[in-house]
């Protein structure tokens, strides 16, 4: 009798317990869903707040200068009235980033190819750790090293050689015109290339390792050289990831501040020579924001808004390019 009563009680309590457990699962699911949703929406809220604060801070300069701010070269905050233009910082930002990527892309891809195709197994880990250490060095350390070591070295060795080699050559003579300088656009671009190199190398190495071995073995089996395997198998298979890493590095180069501020010279003048001093948007903001006020400060905030827009368009172009490549590949 007692056993029959206990079994009947368990049977009666079973559906109730199952319903309560199901309700707890649903509640936990709902809490998890709304937690993750709030986290995702908070990113949009923070981004919107940043954009709004930049627009509010830059509004006085936008009213004062309008679109002429984009193509005005002179930067004279102490004039009466102040004459402020963004052409010099925009030119320096684009030029240093382009030169940095021209140096970093082939070197970074070369390192990644060496690590995945040629490097002995015992040497891969030390080189990989060295690349990761490069990514972890603070930017101010790069700036100090560039100011005290790299800048004097370039001004005393490489720059005089390039100036002499291209002297009198059309176009190139103007690009590599002297005099040599410790602080220049080229020095800043070289520092930037070293700083973004780990991003390109690490991402490229990771995506190269995802290539199925059977594809490379088949290419080697039909008599392809290593260069042909890399060019016709590895790079086409991983081009989306490689381009993504390059765009990530470009975004870092566009926004780098302290290292560039140390070694670029902070001159708002535009020169055809890459050995002349210049400035970038981030360097101009870092060097002048602390002692700015009024229209001067608003103009610096407007420079920050322009850098934000520039970075946004670069990343948007990267996404469109990746989508086009994926569509072309049939994905």
What DSSP assignment string belongs to 67-87? THHHH---EETTSSS-EE-SH
Residues 139 and 201 in one domain: yes
Q: Which residues contact 252 (CB under 8 A, 6 or more apart)?
A: 195, 196, 199
CB-based burial label for 105 (10 Å; 0-12, 13-18, 19+) = buried
Residues 207 and 99 in one domain: yes
pTM of the model: 0.85
Instruction: Tell which wins on pLDDT, 331 or 315.
Output: 315
- Give the residue numbers spanning the domain of 48: 2-65
Residues 99 and 49 in one domain: no
224-237 per-position pLDDT tens digit: 888 888 888 898 88
| Lookup result for tokens 């590949």 | 329
Rounded to the nearest 10°, the torsion over CA 240, 241, 245, 247 is 20
Domain count, the chain: 2
Residues 30 and 76 in one domain: no
Residues 297 and 237 in one domain: yes
Q: What is the pLDDT of residue 304?
A: 92
Q: Nearest 5°: phi and psi at 246?
A: -65, -45
Check which CATH number belongs to the domain holding 203 and give it.
1.10.3720.10
269-299 per-position pLDDT tens digit: 898 899 999 999 999 998 888 888 888 999 9
Q: Can you tell me the distance from the alpha carbon of 279 to that of 188, in angstroms, rounded to the nearest whole number?
A: 9
Q: What is the pLDDT of residue 141?
A: 92
Residues 231 and 316 in one domain: yes
157-184 per-position pLDDT tens digit: 999 999 999 988 888 889 998 888 889 9
Residues 54 and 150 in one domain: no
Q: Can you tell me the distance from the alpha carbon of 75 to that of 83, in angstroms, rounded to the nearest whole number?
A: 6
Q: Can you tell me the distance from the alpha carbon of 141 to that of 111, in angstroms, rounded to the nearest whole number?
A: 23
In the three-class reduction of DSSP (H, G, I as helix; E, B as strand; rest coil), residue 273 is classed as coil
32-55 average pLDDT score: 91
Contact 178, 146 (CB under 8 A): no
122-148 per-position pLDDT tens digit: 888 888 888 888 888 888 899 999 999
Residues 191 and 48 in one domain: no
Q: What is the pLDDT of residue 1?
A: 45
Residues 19 and 86 in one domain: no
- Split at pLDDT 50, 70, 90, the class of 201 is very high
Residues 143 and 202 in one domain: yes
76-105 per-position pLDDT tens digit: 888 778 888 899 999 999 999 999 999 999
45-58 average pLDDT score: 92
Q: What is the pLDDT of residue 331?
A: 56
Q: Which long-range contacts (CB under 8 A, 24 or more apart) does 58-63 make?
A: 58/298, 58/299, 58/301, 58/302, 58/304, 58/305, 59/298, 60/294, 60/295, 60/298, 61/295, 61/298, 61/299, 61/301, 61/302, 62/302
Beta bridge partners of 265: 278
105-129 average pLDDT score: 89
Instruction: Tell which wins on pLDDT, 320 or 303.
Output: 303
- Split at pLDDT 50, 70, 90, the class of 330 is low
Annotate 286-329 with DSSP letters as a single string. Answer: HHHGGG--HHHHHHHHHHHHHHHHHHHHHHHHHHHHHHHHHHHT
Q: What is the pLDDT of residue 2?
A: 44
Residues 56 and 120 in one domain: no
Residues 216 and 187 in one domain: yes
């Amino acid at each position: 009798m007692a056993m029959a009563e206990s079994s009947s009680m368990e049977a009666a309590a079973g559906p109730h317990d199952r319903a309560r457990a199901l309700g707890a699962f649903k509640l936990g699911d709902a809490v998890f869903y709304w937690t993750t949703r709030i986290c995702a929406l908070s990113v949009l809220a923070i981004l919107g707040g940043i954009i709004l604060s930049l627009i509010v801070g830059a509004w006085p300069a936008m009213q004062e200068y309008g679109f002429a701010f984009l193509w005005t070269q002179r930067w004279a905050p102490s004039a009466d009235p102040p004459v402020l233009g963004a052409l010099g910082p925009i030119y320096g930002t684009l030029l240093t980033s382009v030169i940095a990527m021209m140096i970093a892309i082939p070197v970074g891809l070369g390192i990644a190819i060496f690590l995945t195709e040629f490097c002995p197994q015992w040497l891969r880990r030390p080189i990989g750790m060295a690349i990761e250490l490069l990514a972890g060095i603070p930017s101010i350390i790069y700036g100090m090293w560039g100011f005290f070591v790299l800048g004097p070295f370039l001004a005393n060795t490489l720059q005089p050689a390039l100036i002499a080699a291209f002297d009198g050559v059309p176009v190139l003579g103007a690009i590599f015109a002297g005099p040599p300088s410790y602080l220049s656009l080229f020095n800043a671009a070289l520092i930037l290339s070293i700083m973004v190199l780990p991003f390109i190398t690490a991402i490229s190495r990771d995506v190269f390792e995802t290539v199925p071995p059977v594809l490379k073995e088949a290419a080697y089996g039909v008599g392809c050289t290593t260069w042909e395997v890399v060019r016709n198998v590895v790079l086409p298979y991983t081009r989306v990831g490689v381009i993504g890493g390059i765009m990530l590095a470009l975004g870092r180069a566009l926004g780098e501040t302290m290292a560039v501020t140390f070694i670029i010279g902070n001159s708002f003048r535009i020169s055809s020579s890459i050995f002349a001093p210049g400035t970038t948007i981030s360097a101009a903001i870092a060097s002048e924001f602390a002692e700015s006020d009024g229209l001067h400060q608003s103009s610096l905030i407007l420079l920050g808004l322009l850098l934000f827009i520039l970075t946004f368009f670069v990343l948007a172009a990267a996404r469109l390019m990746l989508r086009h490549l994926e569509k072309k590949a049939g994905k």
